[in-house]
Amino acid sequence: MISLVLYGRNDSYGYNLHKRAALSLNCMAEVLTSSTDEILFVDYNTPDDYPTFPEAIQDTLTERAKQMLRIFRVRPSVHARFAHRSKLVALEPIARNVAVRRSNSANRWVLSTNTDMIFVPHEGLSLSDQLVDLPDGFYHLPRFEIPETLWEMFDRKDAVGTINRIRPLARAAHLNEIVELAPYIRFDAPGDFQLIQRNDLFRIHGFDEDMLLGWHVDSNIAKRLHLLLGSTGDLLDKLYGYHCDHTRQVTPMHRPDSATNDFATFVENVTIPEMIKQATSWGCADDEIEEIRLDRTRNSLYLDGLKAVIKSEMTKPTTVAYSAETYDRVTYSPSHVLPFLADIFVNVPARTTLAWIGGNPEMFGLFANLWHKMEIGGPILVYEKLHMELGKSAGTLERLTDLDEMADHADAFIFEYPVGTDDVSTRSQNNAKGGRLAEEIKLAFFDLLQRELLRLETGKAPRRFVVVNAIHNGIADAVNSFIGVARTPFSTRIRQGFVAPRVSGPIDWTPRMLVAYAGKRVDFEIMAPRNSRGHIMHGPHASLFPGKYRVTASLKNGAWRHWRSFLSRSPDVLMEVVAGKKEFARRRISTRDIKAGRAELEFNISLSDVVSAETAGIDVRIWTKGRREFSVGRVIVDEI
C-alpha cells in the first residue's frame, strides 16, 4: 500500500544523528502493516569506502525495520555530474526521485518524509489501516516538535513503547501546536509528511531536479500537486507527526547564510504541475543503482567468504619481532593478512577492476577466492611478467595483462611485496629470488605511480594503491613518500591510500630529520655542541623519483674552539647524502658556508637506485669533529 521514501548518507549530519534515525526508522516500520509496504532509503553520495548509512546502524534497527528496508546506493560517481551545481553533498530531489522511480508499482501511495519523524496514529499502531479507504488526493500533516532532551530518553529499539509514550507526553509538555501556511502547503515544514499517489508522481515526473541548493523542494511538489488536483488535504483526524528536533548543533542547511533555492522561481511562479524537461530522465533513469537488503550485505558476504576460504582456525597466537634486527626480514601469514586486505574493498562499487602485482601464490589465491565470494563482480588483472610466480592460482583470473592495460582500466592497484625470512640456511637462496621479484614489483610500482600522477593532472579521480607487506622493509619508504597512506598498525602489514600530488617546488625535510648521537635538539634546531664528535643528524629516509637534486641545509654560526683547524684540509664538518651502503654525494662544510648560513649539495638518483633494496631510503647526514659549535635549522631538497 505505502512506499515510504527517505534519504541520507553515512556522515554525522546534526547532533546524535544515529539515534534519531534508528528511532525514526523503527517507529516507521511499526506503523506500516500492509504486505506490500516498504521503506525506501536512498543512501546518497556516501564515500565508496564506507557502508551505507542503514548498514552502519543496522545493529540498532529492529528486525521489522531491517526486513522492510530497501536501500538504494547512489555512488559519488553519479553525484559527480551534479556536484558543480551545488555545494551540498546530499541532493534531496535527486535522491527522492531515485526511490520513487524504483518503488513497488503495486503500492498506491508514496509517503515522502525524513529520518527524524515519528508517526502516532490516534488509534492502534497501523498507519496502513488508516489509508485503506482514503479518497484520491494529496495529503499533509502539521509537524509537532519534540525537544532533543525528550527524544533522547526514548529506547530506539522499543518502537511500540515510544509511540505509546509520545501520546501522553505530547499533551503533558504541550507539544501539539499546528502552524498553518498557504492553502497549497497547509502547514509549516510540509516535507516531513507528504502523502502522494504514486501515479500522480509519475504523471508530473517526480520532484524538480533543478532544486539543488536546499530548501523548498517540499513546497514545490506541493504547489505542483495542488495545481494538478485542485486541493491539499490533511490527515489530522487519523494521526499526528512528531519531529525529533536537532538544532542544538547548527547543520549546513540551517546556517543563516546557507544558499537556498529561490522561492519565487520554484514555488510562487510555478504554473504547471509537470516537469517536461526531465520527463524521461528523472530519478537517474539511466544509471545502475545498487539495491541493498540488510539480510545480505557485503559485510555478511565478507565474513562468510573468510570462513570459506581460510580452511583452518588459528590455534594459538603468532609472534613477530618488530625491531632493527628484523628489517627486511619480516614474514607474514596470508591467512592473517587476508581479512585486512579484503576489508579495504568491501564497499567498492560493483564490477570494480583490480590490478594485482605480486608473486605470493598463497596470498593471491586466498584473495582472489574471497573477491569472487564477495560478489563484487569485477575482474582481477594480473601482471603477466609475474604470473608464473603465482602458479595455478593464476587460473582463477579474468586475464593476464601488462602495465599499459592496468594503467588504463584498473580501478585500484594491489602490490604484494615479497616476504623476508628468518631461516639462515635458506636466506641466501631466498634473497636472490626475492631480490629479483622485489625489484620487478618496485619497477611496476614506480611505473604505475608516475602514470597515475599524469592521469591526476587531467582532473581524473584518484585510484587506490594498496601495498601488502609494506612496513619495515625495502618498499616502505617509497610507499610512505609517494602515497598518502594511513598509518595502519604493523600487524596488518598493509599501507594504502592515494597517490600524493608531486611537489613542483622545494620539499621541506626538516620535520622528518632525526637527532643523531652527537647532536642535540634546541628548540626547532639541531645543534652540534663543542667536543661532541660524530653525526649530529640524519634522515628522513625518504624516496625520490629518478632525477637530479639539490639539498640545502641552513646553518647558524657558533664559536670556534680551534678556528684555524677549520681552514685546514682536514674535513672537520661533513655533509653527505647516502642510501643504505651507497654514498651519492659528500662535501666539506666550509667557513664560507657557515658565514653564508647555508650549505648545498647536489646528487643524482637513477631508476636502478630507486628500485634497488640496497639503496632504499635517502638520508642527509652531517658529521662533525666537535671543534665547532653550530646548528642546523632547515633541510630542503629541490629537484633541479
**CATH number reported for the structural domain that contains residue 197 in this entry:** 3.90.550.10
Of 357, 411, 412, which is closest to residue 384 (Cα–Cα)?
357
The predicted pLDDT at position 314 comes to 92
The whole-angstrom distance between residue 577's C-alpha and the CA centroid of its chain comes to: 37
The verdict on 110 and 67 lying in the same domain is yes
pLDDT at 235 over 70: yes
Of 495, 498, 497, which is closest to residue 337 (Cα–Cα)?
495
Burial class of 44 by CB neighbour count within 10 A (0 to 12, 13 to 18, 19+): buried
Largest CA distance in the chain: 106
Question: What's the count of helices (H) and strands (E) in the chain, helices before strands?
Answer: 20, 30
The verdict on 435 and 520 lying in the same domain is no
Helix (H) or strand (E) holding 364, with range, is helix 361-373
Q: What confidence category does residue 407 fall into, taking pLDDT thresholds of 50, 70 and 90?
A: very high
Tell me, yes or no, whether 292 lies in a domain: no
The verdict on 253 and 326 lying in the same domain is no
Last residue of a domain, which of 286, 309, 331? 286
The predicted pLDDT at position 424 comes to 40
Neighbouring C-beta atoms of residue 36, cutoff 10 Å = 14
Q: Give one DSSP letter per residue of 273-289, joined into a string.
A: S--GGGTTTTTTTTS--
Give the structural domain span for 558.
507-639
3-state secondary structure of 159: helix
Tell me, yes or no, whether 320 lies in a domain: yes
How many whole angstroms separate alpha carbon 486 and alpha carbon 464? Answer: 12
* Cβ–Cβ < 8 Å for 625, 573: yes
Phi, psi values for residue 111, rounded to 5°:
-110, 110
The verdict on 529 and 411 lying in the same domain is no
Cell of 488: 595502519
pLDDT at 402 over 90: yes
The verdict on 466 and 524 lying in the same domain is no
Tell me, yes or no, whether 41 lies in a domain: yes
Last residue of a domain, which of 499, 519, 547? 499
The predicted pLDDT at position 394 comes to 53
Q: How many residues does the chain have?
A: 640
The verdict on 370 and 235 lying in the same domain is no
- What CATH number is given to the structural domain containing 619? 2.60.120
Tell me, yes or no, whether 293 lies in a domain: no
The verdict on 121 and 22 lying in the same domain is yes
Residue 124 CB partners (closer than 8 Å, separation 6+): none
The verdict on 134 and 43 lying in the same domain is yes
Q: Which amino acid is at 95?
A: A
Residue reference for cell 602495465: 403
Of 74, 70, 89, which is closest to residue 5 (Cα–Cα)?
70
Of 125-134, 240-249, 426-435, 458-467, where does mean pLDDT reach its minimum? Answer: 426-435
Q: What confidence category does residue 563 fall into, taking pLDDT thresholds of 50, 70 and 90?
A: very low
3-state secondary structure of 38: strand
267-281 confidence digits (pLDDT tens) = 999 999 999 999 999
Of 143, 116, 58, which is closest to residue 251 (Cα–Cα)?
116
How many whole angstroms separate alpha carbon 432 and alpha carbon 282? Answer: 61
The verdict on 479 and 383 lying in the same domain is yes
3-state secondary structure of 613: helix
How many whole angstroms separate alpha carbon 636 and alpha carbon 508? Answer: 5
The verdict on 146 and 270 lying in the same domain is yes
The verdict on 279 and 239 lying in the same domain is yes
The predicted pLDDT at position 526 comes to 92
Phi, psi values for residue 300, rounded to 5°:
-70, -35
Across 486-490, 504-508, 620-624, the highest mean pLDDT is recorded for 620-624
pLDDT at 570 over 70: no
Tell me, yes or no, whether 107 lies in a domain: yes
pLDDT at 585 over 70: yes
Of 79-93, 196-210, 612-626, where does mean pLDDT reach its minimum? Answer: 612-626
Q: What confidence category does residue 258 fall into, taking pLDDT thresholds of 50, 70 and 90?
A: confident
The verdict on 425 and 461 lying in the same domain is yes
Last residue of a domain, which of 475, 499, 523? 499
Neighbouring C-beta atoms of residue 6, cutoff 10 Å = 26
Q: What confidence category does residue 558 fall into, taking pLDDT thresholds of 50, 70 and 90?
A: low
The predicted pLDDT at position 434 comes to 65
pLDDT at 253 over 80: no
Q: What confidence category does residue 393 fall into, taking pLDDT thresholds of 50, 70 and 90?
A: low
Neighbouring C-beta atoms of residue 105, cutoff 10 Å = 10
What's the structural domain count of the chain? 3
3-state secondary structure of 263: helix
Tell me, yes or no, whether 456 lies in a domain: yes
